Amino acid sequence: MLCQDTVPTVGTTTASSPFVVEDPPEGYQLVLAGRGDIRQSWSSDSFGDDEPVTVLVPPGGDIAGKGAVTVSLTGYAGFQGGLEQAAVGYPAVQPEEFEIDGQRALYTPPGVSPAGPHGADLVVAVGEDLAVRVGSADGSREELADVAQRVSPQADHLVAPKVPDPADGLEVIGSADADVAITLWARPQPGSDAMPAGARAHTAAWSRLDTDGARISGTSAITVSTLPGTAVSLDALDAALALRPYGVAATVQEVSVRGRPAAVVDGGEDAIRFRAVVTATPGGDALLVVASGGELRLMNRRVASSELVRPSAASPTTWTSVGVRLAQPVEGRLRLVPARRAYATDSSSVRAAPSDQAVAKRSSPNDERRATTAAAYSGRSMGGRGWPMSSRPASLAA
C-alpha cells in the first residue's frame, strides 16, 4: 500500500522561486511580472470553490481508470443552499443524507443531472466551513464513506488533503493544491492589472499589443509561473482541472522534457482555451508555461517541444525554458529592462500601464476570475461536479 508521504510530486520546494525571463516568443510584449494575485475561491455562493485534490487508484491504475477515487476539500457556509449546494447535481438531484461519526454526510449515486452525467459523490461536513468530498465513477455510499473516514485535511485548505492510510485496494498516486488549477486557468485580461497566477506563484505574462499598447483581441497570451514543487503531481492534473468551479474539460499527455517528467495539458472550451506544459525546474519548483487564447495552433510546436526546458551554459545554478532563466532571488526594485528581459521577484512587481485606448476601468483579481468564468460557462449549473472529463493519448502530437 502506497501512503501519501511517499508519492512523488513534480518538485521538492515548499515555496516558489523568483526567476529571470529572457527572449520570449517574437511579437509578444511583457505586460505583467511579479507575485500572483489570484486567491483561492472558498465558500463562494456564485462561483464555487477551488478545490485541492488527492487521487487514489487501485494498484497499477490511473486517474482514467474506473476504480479511481478523488478526495478534495470544499467550503459550504457561504453557499445559499449550505452543504447540499456542495453536492453534485444540486439542486436537481436529491442526495441521501446520513452521518459519519456524528458528522453530516450527503451521498449522491452516479446518474445524470441537467448539467450532464456525473459519478458518485459524497460530501462530509468536518468543520463549520469545511467539507471533505470523495468522488468516483460508481462508488457505493459505504465505499466512499470508508475513504472519507481516512482523510486528514490540512490546516490550510489551499493544500491537498492527506490520506495517510488508504483503504485496501487503493493507493495514493498524486495530489494538486488548489492554486495549480488556478494558475493553469488564469490569463492576463485587458484592462486588469491582476497577476494571472495563484498567490504563492512568481509569474510573468506576455501578450500581443497593437501600436497603441492595447492587447490585440483574439490573440494568445503566454504566462510563465513557478509554484512550490510540492504543489502538484502530474497524475493529479486531470482531477484538479475537473474540480474547478463548473469543471474544465482537458486532456493530459505525459511526456519527458530533458529527462524530467512533464505533462502537456490542453483545456478549456471555444475561445477560452489553453495549452500548458507542467514540469519541474532543476531547483525543484513546479514550472507552468501556459499559452491561452486564439493562436494556440501557432504555439503547439513551441510549447510542446522537447526543447521546452534546456540547461543554461552560463551556470549550473541557472537554466533556460522558452526564454526563462531561473536564478538566485533578485534584490532591489523591479523595472522593465532592455532585451525584453523581466524579473519576477518577492519584493516588487511590474504592471504595464494601459494606453489611452486600453480599457480604462481596472478590475480586481476576483473580478478577472468572474469575467473569465462567466464568459466561458454562462448558463451552466453550479452543482455539476462530474467525473474528470479527460483522456491520456499514448503519444504527443507534433
Average pLDDT estimate for 191-218: 84
Q: How many Å apart are CA 292 and CA 298, to the nearest integer? A: 11
Task: Please write the tens of the pLDDT for every residue from 23-74.
Answer: 666 778 888 888 999 999 999 998 889 999 999 999 988 887 889 999 999 9
pLDDT given for residue 5 in this prediction? 58
Residue 128: band (very low, low, confident or very high) from pLDDT cuts 50, 70, 90: very high
226-245 average pLDDT score: 90
User: Helix (H, G, I), strand (E, B), or coil: what is residue 4?
Assistant: helix
Taking the alpha carbons at both ends of the chain, their separation in whole angstroms is 38
Average pLDDT over residues 359-370: 42
CA distance 194 to 349: 11
Give the 3-state secondary structure of residue 390.
Answer: coil
Spatial contact of 160 and 111, defined as CB atoms under 8 Å apart: no
Among 129, 132, 134, CA closest to 108: 134
- Please state, in angstroms and rounded to a whole number, the distance separating the CA atoms of residues 18 and 392: 32
Please state, in angstroms and rounded to a whole number, the distance separating the CA atoms of residues 207 and 223: 9
Cell of 120: 458518485
DSSP state of 40: P
Considering only residues 260 and 77, tell me which one the structure prediction assigns the higher pLDDT: 77
Sign for the CA dihedral angle at 81, 112, 56, 241 comes to negative
pLDDT computed for residue 22 by the predictor: 64
Cβ proximity of 128 and 83 under 8 Å: no
Distance CA 306, CA 297 (A): 17
Residue 106 CB partners (closer than 8 Å, separation 6+): 83, 84, 86, 87, 95, 96, 97, 122, 123, 124
Q: Pick 123 or 304 by higher pLDDT.
A: 123
**What would the pLDDT profile of 269-311 be if each residue is shown by its tens digit?**
665 788 899 999 888 999 999 988 766 554 454 443 323 333 3
Listed residue (105, 174, 170) closest to 141, CA to CA: 105
Pairing state between β 171-176 and 53-57: antiparallel
Most trustworthy range by pLDDT among 234-238, 258-262, 269-273 = 234-238
Which residue carries 445524470 as its cell? 112
Q: Per-residue pLDDT for 135 more than 90?
A: yes
Among the listed ranges 37-51, 83-97, 235-249, 290-304, which one has the minimum average pLDDT value? Answer: 290-304
Instruction: Find the mean pLDDT for residues 371-375.
Output: 36
Question: What residues contact 166, with CB distance under 8 A and at least 6 apart?
Answer: 1, 2, 3, 56, 147, 150, 172
pLDDT at 245 over 80: no
Identify the residue whose cell numbers are 490511473.
62
Q: Looking only at Cα atoms, what is the longest distance across the chain?
A: 64
Q: Which of 286, 258, 288 is nearest to 275 (CA)?
A: 288
- Using an 8 Å Cβ cutoff, are 348 and 204 in contact? no
Residue 134 and residue 143 in contact, taking contact as beta carbons nearer than 8 Å:
no
